[in-house]
Chains A and B, each alone.
Chain A
């Protein structure tokens, strides 16, 4: 049993999904999905502990050894990302119970939870696998589930957002497919480790350069890297509350993980950043993302829109750290990947609570929230402070590392950039907070969200504070991930 845990992690939600879709009532489906998500979290955590104790776990699917068959390969990096995905899922699912009841027709709820489980399956599969084509298959599972889930949004613009994401996402996946096809043509293998070993021999070819470009562009779409982020804001904005809480914390993070894996582990920094100088392109894009998306966030009239654009900006932060390609930069990048999931999850969950009680999330709906929903509003404030990067919150820690990394690399302008973007975050977050606490509202009725939503929300909020004060765990994890990446191709 113990040695099959890596595959069980992915197969468990996969098998639960059809059962879930066949359950007659939404409530039962919700219970099943929640139970599965907790089991998944337990497995993911145990795997992470095992990776740290025993080193990399390799699991040959079907018993065929690596390049012949498909391999699941867990190291300090992806075991961590798996835990992140699982933990967010385990928080979002209990939370989703009430909001789904409110937002989605009763007869479609089991299907909703089934799709959500499939989304989790897809994400976990992408992270676990050591085979580039298998990545494509699971990428499509997660993508299709995402398109379907976004389309569940009540607003009819959700359909349009889902459609646009489908078109762009399919283009991204196809570009990725071409890229790995070219790599395959050059090396004859699809296994990541094997690819990494065989690539240096053909690195000089134009084909290899094209392949890496295509893979990066394809993943760039999936992770919403500027300027390929156009699908994201509306998708997050109009998706059902539970989905907009889940996606930003996981889906883009998994795509970023994949990019890191390709750049550092498969292509190798020397090739991708040294010869191709992709790091400079990435730095420029990250900088543009941070500035332009923060500006756009400041102009939004809908809080979910603000948060969505802010997510695009935060992807910039993460890419920035990675593009520096120094140990401390990568640590910063991974830390921010983790911390941003915590804060964005919490912020979108708070908006889910508002959606439940007020029915909309535009700035007018926020007026007087401090009175009407004190706990929700307070959660938004704390998570918002974390987003700004105020000390004693998780956001501070990752930004600290980022600035330190930029300083170490001697990139002064980047330091200024990070700080300017933080100040812009201050402006767009505080606009919401000020409305929540100081804008008068006719209705002063107290209408706090139910406990089933507040508890997961505050769990994430407290995690934001915890990882802002006691950073031993998060920094150690990020550093072990960093070491995996810095070790480079085998």
Chain B
């Protein structure tokens, strides 16, 4: 039973680590953000499961209810969801701008682009370079 009791945590950890892996390893900038979203979603679940009470009710006070789930994690996660989506939005805006000015959103390519420009003409505004090869 002990391992079954922790099964939900382990499943969540798998999701978390999948997200983390995407954010670190995948070179497409969009996919990194997807990874972060995934990571955050898993964390939300973690919090909510902390607040869960078996055989209890949604924390809306009603007549006759004995037990409620803990409302505090819900509150925290409501905040965290909004914060998460705000981060995603900003990240996406950055990706769009990067695509506009570099013509690519692949990390490996971007790194080589930046180096290339630096070597060619180190002393001028880099923005002057043509960005659509």
* A contact residues vs B (CB 8 Å cutoff): 133, 136-137, 140, 144, 147-148, 151, 154-157, 159-160, 162-163, 166-167, 170-171, 174, 177-178, 181, 184-185, 190, 301, 359-360, 362, 364-365
Contacts and interface: CB of A to CB of B under 8 A. Distances in A.
A319 to B, nearest CB: 24
A171 B20 contact: yes
Interface residues of B, number: 39
State the 7 A-B residue pairs at the shortest beta-carbon distance, nearest first: A185-B50, A156-B101, A163-B94, A140-B83, A159-B98, A170-B36, A166-B91
B67 interface: no
Contacts of A190: 72, 76
A243 to B, nearest CB: 15
16 contacts: A133-B76, A148-B90, A155-B125, A155-B126, A157-B114, A160-B98, A163-B91, A163-B95, A166-B91, A167-B32, A170-B36, A171-B23, A174-B43, A177-B80, A184-B73, A185-B50
B90 A167 contact: no
A157 B23 contact: no
Given A174-B36, A181-B47, A156 B94 contact: no
Given A137-B83, A166-B87, A181-B43, A360 B97 contact: no
Interface residue SS majority, chain B = helix
B102 interface: yes
Nearest to B129: A156
A174 B91 contact: no
A156 B43 contact: no
A154 B128 CA distance: 11
B127 interface: yes
Contacts of B32: 167
A163 B122 contact: no
Given A154-B125, A181-B43, A162 B101 contact: no
Interface in B36-55: 36, 39-40, 43, 46-47, 50
Contacts of B132: none
Contacts of B110: 160
B79 interface: yes
Contacts of A362: 122-123
A200 B87 CA distance: 35
Interface of B: 16, 20, 23-24, 29, 32-33, 36, 39-40, 43, 46-47, 50, 72-73, 76, 79-80, 83, 86-87, 90-91, 94-95, 97-98, 101-102, 110, 114, 122-127, 131
Contacts of A148: 90
B91 A167 contact: yes
A346 B73 CA distance: 44
A156 B87 contact: no
A181 B46 contact: yes
Contacts of B36: 167, 170-171, 174
A109 B44 CA distance: 36
Contacts of A185: 50
Contact of B123 (A136, A154, A178, A364): A364
A166 B84 CA distance: 12
Contact of A178 (B29, B43, B72): B43
Contacts of B46: 178, 181
Contacts of A160: 98, 102, 110, 114
A144 B94 CA distance: 12
B20 A140 contact: no
A151 B76 contact: no
B87 A184 contact: no
B11 to A, nearest CB: 15
A182 to B, nearest CB: 8
B98 A163 contact: yes
Contacts of A171: 20, 23-24, 36, 39
Given A154-B127, A174-B36, A362-B123, A166 B94 contact: yes
Contacts of B87: 140, 144, 166, 170
A9 B56 CA distance: 42
Contacts of A136: 80, 83
A365 B91 CA distance: 33
B79 to A, nearest CB: 6
B126 A157 contact: yes
Contacts of A157: 114, 126
Contacts of B79: 133, 137
B125 A359 contact: yes
B116 to A, nearest CB: 12
A159 B94 contact: yes
B48 to A, nearest CB: 10
Contact of B101 (A159, A167, A184): A159
Nearest to A162: B94
Contacts of A365: 123
Given A148-B90, A163-B94, A155 B29 contact: no
Nearest to A186: B50
Given A144-B90, A160-B110, A160-B114, A167 B43 contact: no
Contacts of A151: 94, 97
Contacts of B131: 156
Contacts of B50: 181, 184-185
A147 B94 contact: yes
A121 to B, nearest CB: 15
A32 B111 CA distance: 39
B10 to A, nearest CB: 14
A229 to B, nearest CB: 15
Nearest to B86: A144
